[in-house]
Structures are given as C-alpha cells and as structure tokens.
Amino acid sequence: MQVTLDEDEVREESEVEKSINVWRQSERKIMIEMVQDLIQTSHKYAKSQYTPSAQRARWTKLAGQLIWHKDQILKNFSLEAMTIDLQTLKRQIRESEERREREIRTRNYQTIVFRKPENSKAENAEEAQNAETSEASEADDPEGARENALKTA
C-alpha cells in the first residue's frame, strides 16, 4: 500500500488509482518501445549505403526528432509527473465547481412579466389613434402639402 501526499492530506491510494497507474505505466512502456523501434529504423536508413544522400539527411533529422520525443515521453509520462497533473486537474475541477455554486447562489434573475391582453389592445388602439392624428396634422400643414405636390410632380 502506497501513501501519497495530496495538499496536506495523507491518504492511501484506492484500487482505482492503482489500476490507473498500472495502465499508465504499461502505455508509457508501449510508447517508448514504439519510438525506440522508429529511432532504430531511421538510424538504419540514415547509415544505409543504398539510401540516396538527399534522403540520408532527412532520416538523420527524423532520428533526432524521435529521440527528442522519446525524451519528452520519459519526462512527461513518468508516474510522478502524471500524479502531479492529476492532482492539479482535480483541484481545478473542485475550484470550478465551487465557483459555479457561488454564481448560482448569487444570480439575480429578472422577473418575467406577462402583459394582460386587455392592456396591449388598449395600447394598440392608442397608437393607432396617434398615427391617425399625426397623418391628419401633416395633411393640414400647407408646407407638407407643397412638398407632397412637388414629389408627385
């Protein structure tokens, strides 16, 4: 049984975490083996006498890139790095859930107000009367009549 420190807490690893760690280690091993095979293949082609000289530079460059990727896998997929990443993700999830709960508690919802049908009909009638009176006042205006006459001519 392993004991891990999780932000000032001492606890034992559960069976799920153990199985996840075993899976991670097996995946890491597979990835490293695959990259190592690719590195060996690229070295073989880079050193082969049957490879054209223009392609030898490409195979050498590929070998160097694969070595860099292998180094990154060794660094980033170590058990310690994975547990640290997992702990930071858990902390971020907890913080975001707490933030959501605070936002939900402090939300001020606007009240939904439904107009009564009688009020809206009365307002529509008033608007229609206002429109009619404005049209009548425009017709009484001699300057507006001149403008209308000029536009039609």
Per the domain annotation, does 92 fall within a domain? no
Per the domain annotation, does 29 fall within a domain? yes
Per the domain annotation, does 134 fall within a domain? no
Which tens digit of pLDDT belongs to each residue from 51-99? Answer: 898 899 999 999 999 999 988 888 877 777 777 888 888 999 999 999 8
Task: For residue 71, give its domain range.
Answer: 3-77
Per the domain annotation, does 33 fall within a domain? yes
Per the domain annotation, does 83 fall within a domain? no
Give pTM, 2 decimals. Answer: 0.45
Per the domain annotation, does 20 fall within a domain? yes
Per the domain annotation, does 63 fall within a domain? yes
Is the pLDDT at 34 greater than 90? The verdict is yes
Q: Give 104: exposed, middle or buried? Use CB within 10 Å, 0-12, 13-18, 19+.
A: exposed
Indicate the number of domains in the chain. 1
Query: Where is pLDDT greater, at 148 or 70?
Result: 70
Is the pLDDT at 49 greater than 60? The verdict is yes
Per the domain annotation, does 114 fall within a domain? no
Asked if 67 contacts 25 with a C-beta cutoff of 8 angstroms, the reply is no
Distance, in Å, from the CA atom of 145 to the CA atom of 139, rounded to the nearest integer, reads 6
Q: Give 80: exposed, middle or buried? Use CB within 10 Å, 0-12, 13-18, 19+.
A: exposed
